[in-house]
């Protein structure tokens, strides 16, 4: 993933293994937030003597803008969290729902050929502007000074060549300057009948048509193809296809059948890429989307892979909807452990730090050291760089979160820019960083830096049988199962100790984890005697108990199992469980008023008559902390 800022005036970060590029380079990254204007402020240089000695070491998290999904995190949720594709999508895009749409044509700018003649060929007969050409013919579409397109054929060469001799065939309007293969079934095209665009004598193959366009008098090359076949060249260019070979085998419930768990990450990528593409329709006027990281990377047939083809087919037509419209589902390589927020609520990205054999995120944590001379080269108008001051952060995660604004001071003045722009200018991996160094005044974490407080305050969650979650007060939504097809209804939930996530539990004991709530296991694949009725998390959030209607207790993570009701002669329908404070044990409540103690939980006698006097069935139980009551001491 790399950065690419072009005429559109905005940046996006995307998956690509490589360096960070400076302006003018074309490499992988995706954005939709416009770059802030750069305004020079009044001269405010520190009193310290100017110097170019010293350096600044930046420590940071993630690679990219962090908005929406993180590709490494998606893999982690699939491999380590046990999540399916829709769970992954609804975690990152928690205010959306899953929807469907029909396949439509999309016009893709082939940016490497910008400003050049459009030269096409094919190993089968093909047509250009209504004229049929033989297999192997080399045909040029040339934009002339009047705005018309000249159609020429090479008389000296076949296929793609570097020095053809052109002979005029026709002159047509732009709308007619279209090359078509000898088939309309683009999904079955092969290199033997697809069109190739010739670039410096090298053929690049694309499904569908190759069309001409003009932008301010300069030629543009378009690939016109249906979205589903377009995605076949996008998904493996954005997420490595081999990810779909990692992990234990799971039943996907789709046309792909059983696949390794990592396949879910590719399915999620396919839905994101489809939604992003369809939300971009008409964006360029003469085209809908481009093939570079400025939009999302597309490499035509050269980029296709059989594994990602299956992921595209398995999610055919699936999109994410926001307020009834197809969502612009941004994504980046690595969030660093917390998404940035914005259109989609910020969420903890627990598995961004995934590290398994053959797939270890190298950018969850990173460091980069820049000399003062390098910084001065990045901000040449400021003179001698004398200080860096973070003035605003977004409040999510380490150091107060991502840098929203930073002031760079120099001997000729100062400038305040966004953290995203600063990362671009200096070649940092992301805008989530802090710094230390020598030779200039540094203030990475000023008191005014945080705009979003993570301080605990009043708030709670409410969930519904359909898997919906409402975050009330200070509680933060980390996603839900709303819109997903559930095997059984949701019957309960539990929050993590730090308020950074929660679990939902279904009647079959299936567990759905959100935020920093980790998956420790479930009974979703076990035949139960009675349905699960609730769950409780351990105090440290590293485990949980499930309780079924027959009093069966299931322990996961660091939650100890110390007994349950079935087979012990107890009577009644269990409705809830609560841990015993300070000891290794818990209590199970029944609807009929019985409270059963297990493990080291001390028995509480004489409660049945008291509880049975309450109106209705008993449905909940909670223990008090094992400490003095402030109202009685």
Which residues constitute the domain of residue 423?
Answer: 36-62+364-443
Residue 521 included in any domain: yes
**566 in the same domain as 466:** yes
CA distance linking residue 281 with residue 400, whole number of Å: 37
**569 in the same domain as 492:** yes
**479 in the same domain as 373:** no
**560 in the same domain as 489:** yes
pLDDT of residue 272: 98
**487 in the same domain as 419:** no
**466 in the same domain as 372:** no
pLDDT of residue 496: 80
What is the crossing angle of helices 85-92 and 263-278, to 10°?
Answer: 50
Residue 464 has pLDDT above 70, yes or no: yes
**531 in the same domain as 563:** yes
pLDDT of residue 327: 97
Residue 479 included in any domain: yes
Q: Bridge partners of 470?
A: 462
Q: Bridge partners of 555?
A: 545
Average confidence score pLDDT of the chain: 84
- Side-chain-side CA neighbours of 173 within 13 Å: the count stands at 1
Q: What would the pLDDT profile of 382-436 be if each residue is shown by its tens digit?
A: 999 999 999 999 989 889 999 999 999 999 999 999 999 999 999 999 999 999 9
**586 in the same domain as 540:** yes
Helix, strand, or coil here: 308?
Answer: helix
**431 in the same domain as 515:** no
Residue 352 included in any domain: no
What CATH number is associated with residue 498?
Answer: 2.130.10.10
**601 in the same domain as 484:** yes
Residue 382 included in any domain: yes
**Residue where one domain finishes, among candidates 381, 408, 443:** 443
**605 in the same domain as 468:** yes
**463 in the same domain as 607:** yes
Residue 585 included in any domain: yes
- Give the pLDDT mean for 544-567: 83
Q: Assign 24 a pLDDT band (cuts: 50, 70, 90).
A: very low
Q: How many domains does the chain have?
A: 2
Of the candidates 141, 170, 165, the residue with the CA atom closest to the CA atom of residue 154:
165
- Give the pLDDT mean for 178-201: 97
Residue 312 included in any domain: no
Residue 596 included in any domain: yes
- Long-range contacts of range 380-384, CB-CB < 8 Å, 24 or more positions apart? 381/40, 381/412, 381/413, 382/408, 382/409, 382/410, 382/411, 382/412, 382/413, 382/414, 382/415, 383/45, 383/50, 383/410, 383/411, 383/412, 383/413, 384/50, 384/51, 384/52, 384/410, 384/411
Sort 612 into a burial class: Cβ within 10 Å, 0-12 / 13-18 / 19+: exposed
State the CB neighbour count (10 A cutoff) for residue 412: 15
- Three-class DSSP labels, 168-191: EEEEECHHHCEEECCCCCHHHCCC
**Threshold 0.85, pTM exceeds:** no
What burial letters (b/e) apply to 227-249, b meaning 16+ CB within 10 Å? bbbbbbbbbbbbbbbebbebbee
Residue 531 included in any domain: yes
pLDDT of residue 609: 62
């Amino acid at each position: 993933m790399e950065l690419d800022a072009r005429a559109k005036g905005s940046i996006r970060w995307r998956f690509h293994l490589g360096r960070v590029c400076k302006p003018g380079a074309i490499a992988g990254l995706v954005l939709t937030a416009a770059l802030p204007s750069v305004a020079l402020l009044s001269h405010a240089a520190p009193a310290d003597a100017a110097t170019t000695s010293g350096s600044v070491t930046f420590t940071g998290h993630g690679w990219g803008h962090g908005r929406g999904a993180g590709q490494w995190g998606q893999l982690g949720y699939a491999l380590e969290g046990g999540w399916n594709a829709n769970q992954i999508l609804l975690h990152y895009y928690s205010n959306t729902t899953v929807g469907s749409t029909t396949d439509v044509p999309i016009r893709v700018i082939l940016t490497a050929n910008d400003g050049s003649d459009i030269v096409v060929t094919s190993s089968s007969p093909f047509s250009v502007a209504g004229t049929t050409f033989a297999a192997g013919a080399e045909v040029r579409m040339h934009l002339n000074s009047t705005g018309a397109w000249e159609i020429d054929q090479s008389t000296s060469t076949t296929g793609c060549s570097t020095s053809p001799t052109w002979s005029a065939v026709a002159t047509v309007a732009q709308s007619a300057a279209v090359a078509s293969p000898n088939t309309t079934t683009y999904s079955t095209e092969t290199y033997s009948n697809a069109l190739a665009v010739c670039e410096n004598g090298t053929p690049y193959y694309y499904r569908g048509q190759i069309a001409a366009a003009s932008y301010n008098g300069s030629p543009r090359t378009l690939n016109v193809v249906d979205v589903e076949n377009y995605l076949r060249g996008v998904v493996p260019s954005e997420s490595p296809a081999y990810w779909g070979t990692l992990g234990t085998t799971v039943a996907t419930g789709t046309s792909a059948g059983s696949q390794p768990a990592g396949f879910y990450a590719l399915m999620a990528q396919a839905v994101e890429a489809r939604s992003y593409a369809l939300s971009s329709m008409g964006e360029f006027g003469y085209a809908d989307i481009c093939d570079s990281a400025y939009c999302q990377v597309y490499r035509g047939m050269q980029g296709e892979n059989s594994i990602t083809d299956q992921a595209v087919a398995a999610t055919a037509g699936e999109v994410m909807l926001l307020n009834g419209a197809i969502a612009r589902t941004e994504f980046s390589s690595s969030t660093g452990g917390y998404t940035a927020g914005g259109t989609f609520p910020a969420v903890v990205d627990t598995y961004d730090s995934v590290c398994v054999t053959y797939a270890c995120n190298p950018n969850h944590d990173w460091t980069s050291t820049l000399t003062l001379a390098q910084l001065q080269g990045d901000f040449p108008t400021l003179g001698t760089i004398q200080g860096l001051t973070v003035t605003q952060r977004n409040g999510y995660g380490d150091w107060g979160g991502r840098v929203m604004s930073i002031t760079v001071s120099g001997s000729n003045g100062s400038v305040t820019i966004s953290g995203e722009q600063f990362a671009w200018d200096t070649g940092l991996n992301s805008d989530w960083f802090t710094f230390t160094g020598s030779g200039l005044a540094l203030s990475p974490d000023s008191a005014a830096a945080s705009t979003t407080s993570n301080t605990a305050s009043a708030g709670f969650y409410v969930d519904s049988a359909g898997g919906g979650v409402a975050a009330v007060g200070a509680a933060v939504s980390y996603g839900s199962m709303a819109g997903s097809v559930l095997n059984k209804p949701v019957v309960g939930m539990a929050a993590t100790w730090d308020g950074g996530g929660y679990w939902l539990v279904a009647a079959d004991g299936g567990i759905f984890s959100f935020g920093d709530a980790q998956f420790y296991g479930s009974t979703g694949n076990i035949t139960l005697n009675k349905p699960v009725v609730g769950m409780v998390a351990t105090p440290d959030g590293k485990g949980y108990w499930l309780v079924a209607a027959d009093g069966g207790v299931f322990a996961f993570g660091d939650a100890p199992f110390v007994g349950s009701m079935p087979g012990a002669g107890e009577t009644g329908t269990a409705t809830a469980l609560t841990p015993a404070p300070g000891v290794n044990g818990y209590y199970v409540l029944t609807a009929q008023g019985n409270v059963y103690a297990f493990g080291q939980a001390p028995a509480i006698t004489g409660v049945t008559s008291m509880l049975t006097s309450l109106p209705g069935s008993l449905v909940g139980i909670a223990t008090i902390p094992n400490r003095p009551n402030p109202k009685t001491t």
